[in-house]
Structure 1
Amino acid sequence: MFVVTIDQQGSRVVGDRVEPFLADLAATTASSDGMPGARPVRGFERTVGDEVQAVFEDAAAVVDLVLRVLRRGGWSVGVGAGPVDLPLPESTRAGSGAAFVLARDAVEAAKSRVRTVPLAVRGRDATAAFDTEALLVLTAAVAARRSAEGWQVVDLLDELGRDARQEDVAARLGISQQAVSKRLRAALWAEECAARPAAARLLERSEAREREGR
């Protein structure tokens, strides 16, 4: 299992933004209904203060969520990969087990002021977890440098779905297909698409030792 703990940054300055953030998270996970395993096993809830937490089974869903939150900015993200105590209670904040402890360690590490990307991953397989973190941090850092024009085509591709073509994006934006291709190359979109499943596989390995023992 994967526990994702997200803590608001600078709440004393900007105020508590947890409730609108929870609404956005609910909308994001609901839009993934067509993807098996994409929704959390236990949805996001406020746990303490300005912190929220959820439990996932699907590593790819965690990767997608983490990158979305990091793009948004203003939140520190910790991911814990490992076993949880079963049966899971209905409330996320009532959950327990190694993954919850690891997520706590991760979000505290993510708050470090020396981190340019506020993300940390901790797992039962520590090496795999650190490798996951490194790849996700690099992917998020690359995305943070993407231009508004780059995000425009990337977001439209995401909106149109898996079968979308560059021609479809060009038609919607009223630009040439060559312009769309140029923006995607500058955005390093193909590289991000390749990195995401690699990060998900590494995240799965982060809890692999426990799985081998089942």
Structure 2
Amino acid sequence: MFVITADQRDSRTNDDLVPSAVAEVARRAGRRLALAPDRNAGDEVQAATDDGRTALDVALHLVRTGAWSVGIGVGEVQRPLPDDIRAARGPAFIHARDAVDRAKPSQWRLALTAADADAAEADGAEALIRLLLELRERRTGPGWEVADLLSEGMTQKEIAARLGITETAVSLRAKAAGLRAEEAAIPALAAVLDALNRRPGPVRD
């Protein structure tokens, strides 16, 4: 399973963003989550999923806001799952704690940790995610505007009409934003994460 632990940056001097982050993660991931998001340890948000694409989507969203350091832990979780993520236990939570601690001082504010036996694969997955983050870091406001509208299902023609620009201009913005590269990278990265998420069996008390 994937456990996402996100720690709010500069929480002592900024407003509490946990409630809005919990609501947004729930809205974006919904039933794809194995354990619903909730507050953990004051200024942290936690969620859990069995799906690599969902873990990646949630992590990328939180990092994009600039308000969170995000750790992804990969491993087993004790079964049966509780109703409340705060009651859940297992190696995936320990790995997520390690990951978020490593994410805090890093340039990209995201890290991934798995079991020692899978450390090489986890390091490779983390490196690929950071390449994607570097691509997204270079994206301009106009590029994000096109990316967000495309993610809503709009066509380039519809986006051009919405923004009052030509379809050619939309295409150029998409190209400069690296949207085609990201579109290809995300499913491939999700497959890498799913391969890492080996579950030899449930952990029980």
What does 1:58-207 correspond to in 2, within 5 Å? Answer: 58-112=51-105, 115-124=106-115, 125-160=118-153, 164-207=154-197
**Residues 117-163 of structure 1, C-alpha deviation per residue, up to 9 Å, x if partnerless?**
01010113212211121111121122122111111111110112xxx
Superposed CA RMSD: 1.9
Distance in 2 between the 1:211 and 1:149 partners? 45
Q: Residue 186 of structure 1 aligns to which amino acid in structure 2? A: A
Q: For residue 95 of structure 1, report the CA deviation from its aligned partner.
A: 0.7
Q: Does 1:56 align with 2:81?
A: no
Q: Identify unmatched segments of 5+ residues in structure 1.
A: 31-37
Q: Which residue of 1 aligns with 2:2?
A: 2
Q: Which SS does the other structure have where 1:13 is aligned? A: coil
Q: Residue 2 of structure 2 aligns to which amino acid in structure 1? A: F
Distance in 2 between the 1:177 and 1:199 partners? 30
Q: For residue 212 of structure 1, report the CA deviation from its aligned partner.
A: 8.9
Q: Which SS does the other structure have where 1:135 is aligned? A: helix
**Residues 158-207 of structure 1, C-alpha deviation per residue, up to 9 Å, x if partnerless?**
112xxx43223223222211111100110001111111112111111222
Distance in 1 between the 2:46 and 2:143 partners? 31
Q: Which residue of 2 aligns with 1:33?
A: none
User: How many correspondences in the alignment?
Assistant: 201
Q: Residue 109 of structure 2 aligns to which amino acid in structure 1? A: P
Distance in 2 between the 1:128 and 1:81 partners? 11
Q: For residue 96 of structure 1, report the CA deviation from its aligned partner.
A: 0.9
Percentage identity across aligned positions?
A: 43
Q: Which SS does the other structure have where 1:76 is aligned? A: strand
Query: If the length of structure 2 is used for normalisation, what is the TM-score?
Result: 0.91
Distance in 2 between the 1:175 and 1:116 partners? 35
Distance in 1 between the 2:168 and 2:16 partners? 44
Is this contact kept in 2: 1:3–1:55, CA < 8 A? yes
Q: Identify unmatched segments of 5+ residues in structure 2.
A: none
Query: If the length of structure 1 is used for normalisation, what is the TM-score?
Result: 0.87
Change (3 A) 1:207 1:24: closer
